[in-house]
Structure 1
Amino acid sequence: MLKPLTTPTRDLLSLDGLWAFALDTKVGPEPWKSRLDTHLEAAVPASYNDLFADQEIHDHVGLVWYQRTVRVPRGWAGERVVLRFDAATHAAAVYVDDTLVIKHDGGYTPFEADLTDVVVAGEAFRLTVAVDNRLTNVTIPPGKLTVGPDGKERQSYFHDFYNYAGLARSVWLYSTPVTHLTDVTVTTELDGGTALVSYRLATSEPAPASVQLVDESGITVASGEGHAGTLRVEDPVLWRPGAAYLYRLEIEIHDGARPVDVYELPVGIRTVAVEGDQFLINGEPFYFTGFGKHEDSAIRGKGHDNAYLVHDFRLLDWTGANSFRTSHYPYAEEVLEFADRHGIVVIDETAAVGLNLAVEAGLTGQPPRPTFSSETINDQTQAAHAQHLRELIERDKNHPSVVMWCVANEPSTNEDGAREYFEPLISLTRELDPTRPVTMTTVIFATCETDRTADLIDVISLNRYYGWYVATGDLETAEKLLEADLRGWAAKYGKPIMMSEYGADTIAGLHSVTSTPWTEEFQADFLAMNHRVFDRIPSFVGEQVWNFADFGTGAAIHRVDGNKKGVFTRDRKPKAAAFALRERWKDLRGRKPVTQEISRQEISRQRSHDVAAQH
C-alpha cells in the first residue's frame, strides 16, 4: 500500500481536525445513518481517552463513533477517489453515508477504501467511523474481556502501557488516475564501488513504466524501463547511521507517450547483514545505542504529533543515541520517514506484545494459564499475528532506517507450543523480506537453556532487569547474574546479542546519598552496572534502555502515574541517567569507524588511565 502523496497526477486532502464523537452507549442503533446526536468533539489525530474530563469516556470498553462531513474536490471528476486511515486502534468499520465501505482489524497499520463508485466530485458525504478498543485472546495484542456485576464489559490486557484507542493518526482523502501505480519495492546491494538498486512495480492494469534515480543535487544517476529491473549507481553515497543520504526514485506510468501516473520514493542505499556474532551495516560492525520508546504524551495519548516527533529526535541526538525500537507496535510512518532523513536506525516491531500469560499470573495473583492452547493464544491468534506482519512489512519495507524486524515482544518462548506458534511466523517474515535480519525480544523467564526459538532468529534480543525485578537494589549480585546470563547465550548460540530492554523505575527529583531504588542516583548506577557487563561480552552488539520517557499505564498497584523507567519524564525533562547515557554514548559514537572490539579495548585503556590519574 503506497503512502499517499501530492504529485503531478495525485491530489491529497487532509481530514484531520475536530470530529463529532460519541460512545456507543450514548447513541441509538445504526448511528451512521444520520448525524451523530452528540455535543462532543474529538481531535484527530489523538487517542480519545484523555481528551475529556470524563471517567466514563476514559474507561470505556467497546465502540466509539467519529463523524464528519467531507466534500470531494470538484476537480477530481474522472479520478479514482480513495479514503485512507493511517491507523484506528484497534478495529474499525467505516461508513460513507449509509454504506459500509471497509472494515479493518489491527490498530497500528493503515487501511483504505476505494470510494470512486460511492462519492461524486464536488459533492459532500457523511463519513462515520466506529472504532473498537476491545482485545481478546485472538487479537494482536491479546487481552481478556469479562462482564462486571453492572453488566458492563471490563478489559484486561497483558502489556504494561495504557490501552489508548481511537483515531490516533491522520485520515486522508486522495485521488489517483484510473490507471495507477499500486506498489513499489526497492532493495539495494553493493558490488564493490557500485550500488545495485533493484525495483519492482505493480500497477492497477498493464501499462508501460519507466524509472529514474535522482541524487540530492537533482542529477539523474540511473534510469530504467519496465516494471522490474536493477539500476547501477557508480560511486554511490551510502545511507549511514548518523549520516543519512537519500536518492529519489521517480516513477512514471505511461499511456503511449503520455505519463498517466507519477510517484516518487526516497531511497537509501545501504546493506544490512548478520555475520557470525556481528551486526553489519554497509559491511561495517554496528553497535546499537538507544531506547525502547512509546508513542505516548499527555492528553494526546498515542496521537501522532509532529512537535513531539522533532523534539524526541533532538533528544535522541543529544544523548548520542543512534537507534530505537518501535516498542511495542508499528509507529506512525512519519516517524520512520524522519528516521530515514536523519540517519537513525530502527528496529521495527509488530503489536505482538503480551503473548505471555506468566506475566498475567504475576500481576493478578491468579494461577498461571498456558500461553499457547486452544483457549488462550491459538491458531486464530497466529493468523491475526501473520496479518500484522504482512501489513507491517508491506508498509515499511522501503525505509532504509529499518534494519531489523521484531516479530514479538517478550513472548513465552520457554513454554510448550512456542516453537509451533513462532516458526511459521518467522518463516513468513523472511519470505516477505529476505533482506533484513529477524529478532524477538526474550523475556527473563526464557533462559538460554529453556528458550525454544532462539535458533530461528538472527539476533538475540534480551529484556533483562537484574537489580530491579530480580535482586532488587543489590547491584553486586545483579552484575554477576547478568554476566552469567549473557555468557550463557553467547556460548550456546554464537550469535549477536543485544539488550533490547534494561531499566529501573525512577521518580524524577528523588535523591539519596546512597544508591536507593526509585532515586535518580540508583537509575544511573543501575545502567552503569549493565554497561560494565556489556563491555565484557565480545558478541554484544547493542544497548537500548527501557525507556526513553515515562509513559502512561493502566491502573495497577505497582504503577503510580504510569511507568517511571524513562530517562526523561513524560514531558521530556531529563533525569540524571540521561546525562550519564549522554556521556557514554557520545564517547562511543565518537570512536566510529573503529570496530566494536577495538572500542572495548579503548574503553579498558581509558579506564586504566582514569584509575591511574585518580591515584
Structure 2
Amino acid sequence: MWHLIFLLIGSAMAGESGPESPTDFFDATIKIEAPLPYEDAFPIPLPGLLYPRESESREVRSLDGLWDFAVSEGDALRGYREGWYALDLSKASEVMKMPVPSSYNDITTSRNLRDHVGAVWYQRTFFVPSFWRDQRVFVRFGSVNYLAQVWINGVLVTNHEMGHLPFEGELSSYLTFGAENRITVAVDNTLLQTSVPQGKIVEMVTDNGTAHMQTYTFDFFNYAGIHRSVLLYTTPRVYVEDISVRTSLIGEMGIVKYIIQPNGLREGEIPICMVSLYDAEQNLAINEPVEGLSGTLKVPFVKLWWPRGMDSKPGYLYTLEVKLWVENDTKVDIYRLPIGIRTLAWTNTSLLLNDRPVYMRGFGKHEDSAIRGRGFDLVTSVRDHELLQWVGANAYRTSHYPYSDEVLDMADRLGFLIIDECPSVDTENFSPSLLSRHKDSLSELIRRDKNRPSVIMWSLANEPRTQLAEADEYFKQIAQHTKAIDPTRPVTIALARAVQEDKAGQFLDVISFNRYNAWYSNPGRIDMINDRVYEEAEAWHKKYNKPVLISEYGADTMPGLHELPEYVWSEEYQKELLSKHFEAFDRLRHEGYFIGEFIWNFADFRTAQTYTRVGGNRKGIFTRDRQPKMAAHHVRKRYHALAVELDGVQIPGEVEDYYISSYYSSHSEL
C-alpha cells in the first residue's frame, strides 16, 4: 500500500493526472464521492508508543546530526527506480549535508528546494555495539512531514503517514551488530484532499513549461523534512510497551489507576509487574509497591498538579516506576513515567480542575523559527516558555498540529494548560478516506499524550467547513471516536463559521471560536469589536448551552511601524484592538460561561507567499526572533492582573499598574 501511495504521488508529479488545462491552473485532485462509513463504538486500540527513556534496562542513542540529503529533481520516481534505499546515497546522486532535526526548506539559498514538492531522501550510517545483540532495538522518529518510509541496510522496516506525530519500527532482525549500519528515509511533503491536513497539486504554466505546485488553504508554511529527533533505543525481550494512567482524588488521598501493556511474552509466560510511585524528592509516595499489570495506587497527603497561578508550586510531578520481568529470566525492564495527579471535569458553563474553575489566558502558537522552520529547536522552545511565563499566560493551544514531546514535557513541568490539537485544518470535501485518516490522527495523538496532566482538552480540527451538510455526520463520528478513546477530557473545535450555520458544535463539550473583528471584518473599525464579540459568544452559548472560549483574535503588526492615531498594521493598532477585546471578555466573564481568551498569535511565523503576508503572518505579540512588540507589554499587564483577580497571586513588582475593565463593576486599580 505504501509503495502505491508514493507511486500515485509520483504519477501526479510526473504530469500523468490528466490532459493539460487551457487555464493556468489544473486541479489534479481526484474527488471521491461515497457515504461516510459507520464506526463501531469502541475503536481498536493502537500498540503502545512510549517516549524512549534511559533506565537500568534501556539505552537511548541519538541519530541527530548531519545526514546525506538528495532530491530527485524533476523525476519523483527516480530514487525508487534506481533503488536509492539500498545504495550509498552519495554515490547514487548529488548530496548535501542536511541537519536533523530541521525543515529542509529555508536552510539553503535554493528557491527550488524551498518550494520543492515530492520526495527527498535522507541517509546516514551508525554503529551498533555487539552487546546489543541480546536486546530488542527500535528506531523512533518524533515527526516526519508528511509521508515517510524507512529502510535499514536496504530493507523496508517501517512507514508512516501524518506529520507532527511519532512512529517507530523494530530493527533487531535487520541490524549488523558490532558493525556499521545504514538508515535511509524517503520523505514526501505532498498534501492531497485525503491527507491531514488537506491540500491539492495543481499544474501551473510557467516560462519554463508546466510545473506542479502544492496549494493549501491553511495559513502557515508547509515545512517538510525530519522535524524531530531520531532515536535508537533498546529494551529487554519482554518489555513495557504502554502505560495508561488515570488519576482522581478522595479527600487528601490521591488515586492513581494504571494499566501496563507488556510486549514480547512467549506462549505460557506469565509476567511479573511491580509498580511504585515516587514524589519529586524521589521518596516513595505510597506505602509499598503494588504488584500487577493493572491496579490502584493510593497517595496520602497528595500534592496535586496545578496550572500556573492556581498554586505557588505549579506543575508538581510524581514518577511512576514500572518493573516488568518473567520468572527465571534475570532481565528486568524498568520504565519511569512522570505523572501529575489532578482531576478534570466540565459543566455547561465551566471547566473545573481539582474542583476549581479555570479561566485560560494564553495564545495560539506555532512550532516555527527562522532557518529551522518547523524543526525542533531546544533553544527556541525554552525561550518560548520563558516568554510565556514573563507575559503571565497559563495556557496555549498546539495550533494547528501536535507539538513535540519535549515541548509538552515543559508544559507538564511548568504548569501550562494545553489544548492539544490534531493536524486537521480547513477540513472539507469529507470522504471515507479523509475520515479514516482524521480518526487515525486523533488515535495517535491520544496514544502519545493521554497521560499528560497539562493536556486538558482535545481539539478535533481548526476552522473546518462546518456549514456543509456532510459536516454533521463527519464530526459526529470524529467526536464519538475521540470520546470512545478518552472520555476523561472535553473535546472542542476551533470554529470559524457563523453560529447560525454551524453543524458541529452539538457534538462538542466546549465551544471555541475564531473571529477577527476589526481586521478581516471591518478593518480599522476599533469601534466595532466590543459588542460583536460579546453577542457572538452569547449566541454560541445560547445555541449549544456549553462553555465558550475565543481561540483566535488579533491583528497583523509590523514591528517598528508607529502611527497616531492608530492605523492598521501599526503597533498602536494591535494594542488598541486587543484592548477592545479585553473589554468584551471582561463583560463575558461576568456571564459565567466564558472560560478563556487566546490571542493569535504568540509570535510571527512563516506562511506561503501571498501579497497579504509580509514575510509571513505578523499577528504575533512577539517577533519571529522572539522579541516583544508594544502589545506584549500591554498583554503582560492584562494577564498578570487577571492572575491577581482570579487566582489571588502576587503581581510581579516590575509590572506597572493596570486597569481591568469591567462592564458591570467599577474600575479598580491593581
TM, length-normalised to structure 1: 0.93
CA distance in 1, matches of 2:441, 2:610: 28
Alignment of 1:448-463 (within 5 A): 448-463=499-514
C-alpha contact (below 8 Å) 1:471/1:478 kept by paired residues: no
1:304 aligns with 2:352: no
Instruction: Determine which of 508, 511, 522 is the counterpart of 2:562.
Output: 511
Residue 523 of structure 1 corresponds to which residue in structure 2?
574
CA distance in 2, matches of 1:176, 1:581: 47
CA distance in 1, matches of 2:180, 2:660: 67
Determine helix, strand or coil for the equivalent of 2:173: coil
C-alpha contact (below 8 Å) 2:200/2:215 kept by paired residues: yes
Deviation at 1:171, TM superposition (A): 0.3
Instruction: Determine which of 5, 27, 50 is the counterpart of 1:2.
Output: 50
1:278 aligns with 2:356: no
1:593 aligns with 2:647: yes
Instruction: Determine which of 478, 482, 487 is the counterpart of 1:434.
Output: 487
Determine helix, strand or coil for the equivalent of 1:509: coil
CA distance in 2, matches of 1:309, 1:606: 39
CA distance in 2, matches of 1:603, 1:529: 12
Q: Could you list the per-position Cα deviations for residues 25-83 of structure 1 after superposition, in whole angstroms to 9, with x for gaps in the alignment?
A: 28652211211132411000000000111111111000000000021122211110111
1:246 aligns with 2:300: no
Larger mean CA deviation between 17-26 and 83-92 belongs to 17-26
Residue 203 of structure 1 corresponds to which residue in structure 2?
262
C-alpha contact (below 8 Å) 1:466/1:479 kept by paired residues: no
Instruction: Determine which of 445, 453, 464 is the counterpart of 1:400.
Output: 453
Q: Could you list the per-position Cα deviations for residues 219-244 of structure 1 after superposition, in whole angstroms to 9, with x for gaps in the alignment?
A: 21223111111111111000000211
Determine helix, strand or coil for the equivalent of 1:289: strand
- Runs of 4+ that moved beyond 6 A: none
Deviation at 1:601, TM superposition (A): 9.8
1:260 aligns with 2:338: no
1:502 aligns with 2:553: yes
Residue 281 of structure 2 corresponds to which residue in structure 1?
217
CA distance in 2, matches of 1:129, 1:593: 49
Q: Could you list the per-position Cα deviations for residues 101-159 of structure 1 after superposition, in whole angstroms to 9, with x for gaps in the alignment?
A: 11110011111111111113212111110000000000000000123343432100110
C-alpha contact (below 8 Å) 2:60/2:231 kept by paired residues: yes
Residue 538 of structure 2 corresponds to which residue in structure 1?
487
Determine helix, strand or coil for the equivalent of 2:182: strand
Residue 583 of structure 1 corresponds to which residue in structure 2?
637
CA distance in 1, matches of 2:520, 2:386: 31
1:50 aligns with 2:106: yes
CA distance in 2, matches of 1:64, 1:540: 47
Larger mean CA deviation between 226-235 and 472-481 belongs to 472-481
1:315 aligns with 2:371: no
Residue 352 of structure 1 corresponds to which residue in structure 2?
424
Letter in 1 for 2:137: V
Tell me the C-alpha RMSD between the 2 structures. 1.8
Residue 70 of structure 2 corresponds to which residue in structure 1?
22
Deviation at 1:259, TM superposition (A): 5.5
Deviation at 1:486, TM superposition (A): 1.4
Residue 88 of structure 1 corresponds to which residue in structure 2?
144
Instruction: Determine which of 598, 602, 622 is the counterpart of 1:544.
Output: 598
CA distance in 2, matches of 1:201, 1:404: 24
Letter in 2 for 1:264: R
CA distance in 1, matches of 2:290, 2:664: 52
Residue 162 of structure 1 corresponds to which residue in structure 2?
221
Residue 125 of structure 1 corresponds to which residue in structure 2?
181
Deviation at 1:263, TM superposition (A): 0.3
CA distance in 1, matches of 2:541, 2:111: 49
Q: Could you list the per-position Cα deviations for residues 308-360 of structure 1 after superposition, in whole angstroms to 9, with x for gaps in the alignment?
A: 111100000010000100000000110000111111111100000121xxxxx
Larger mean CA deviation between 75-84 and 133-142 belongs to 75-84
CA distance in 1, matches of 2:235, 2:349: 47
Residue 41 of structure 1 corresponds to which residue in structure 2?
97
Deviation at 1:478, TM superposition (A): 2.7
Determine helix, strand or coil for the equivalent of 2:407: helix
C-alpha contact (below 8 Å) 1:20/1:38 kept by paired residues: no
Letter in 1 for 2:498: T
1:13 aligns with 2:72: no
Deviation at 1:191, TM superposition (A): 1.5
Letter in 2 for 1:573: Q
1:116 aligns with 2:116: no
Instruction: Determine which of 416, 427, 433 is the counterpart of 1:380.
Output: 433
C-alpha contact (below 8 Å) 1:404/1:437 kept by paired residues: yes
CA distance in 2, matches of 1:74, 1:152: 49
C-alpha contact (below 8 Å) 2:236/2:331 kept by paired residues: no
User: Which structure 2 segments of 5+ residues have no match?
Assistant: 1-48, 309-313, 650-658
Instruction: Determine which of 302, 305, 315 is the counterpart of 1:236.
Output: 302
Q: Could you list the per-position Cα deviations for residues 493-547 of structure 1 after superposition, in whole angstroms to 9, with x for gaps in the alignment?
A: 2211111101100011111111211111110111111111111112111111000
User: Which structure 1 segments of 5+ residues have no match?
Assistant: 356-370
Deviation at 1:591, TM superposition (A): 3.0
Deviation at 1:592, TM superposition (A): 4.2
C-alpha contact (below 8 Å) 2:661/2:667 kept by paired residues: no
Determine helix, strand or coil for the equivalent of 2:168: strand
In structure 2, the CA distance between the partners of 1:471 and 1:127, relative to structure 1 (3 Å rule), is: same
Instruction: Determine which of 245, 248, 263 is the counterpart of 1:189.
Output: 248
C-alpha contact (below 8 Å) 2:153/2:174 kept by paired residues: no
Q: What percentage of residue pairs aligned between the two structures are identical?
A: 42
CA distance in 2, matches of 1:193, 1:604: 39
Residue 367 of structure 1 corresponds to which residue in structure 2?
none
Instruction: Determine which of 421, 425, 434 is the counterpart of 2:474.
Output: 421
1:66 aligns with 2:122: yes
Letter in 2 for 1:158: T
Q: Could you list the per-position Cα deviations for residues 377-423 of structure 1 after superposition, in whole angstroms to 9, with x for gaps in the alignment?
A: 31101101010001000011111111100000010112111011111
C-alpha contact (below 8 Å) 2:494/2:512 kept by paired residues: yes
Larger mean CA deviation between 313-322 and 533-542 belongs to 533-542
CA distance in 2, matches of 1:602, 1:39: 59
Residue 477 of structure 1 corresponds to which residue in structure 2?
528
In structure 2, the CA distance between the partners of 1:229 and 1:415, relative to structure 1 (3 Å rule), is: same
Determine helix, strand or coil for the equivalent of 2:388: helix
C-alpha contact (below 8 Å) 1:160/1:553 kept by paired residues: yes
Determine helix, strand or coil for the equivalent of 2:424: coil
Larger mean CA deviation between 532-541 and 127-136 belongs to 532-541
In structure 2, the CA distance between the partners of 1:117 and 1:565, relative to structure 1 (3 Å rule), is: same
Letter in 1 for 2:639: W
Letter in 2 for 1:542: G
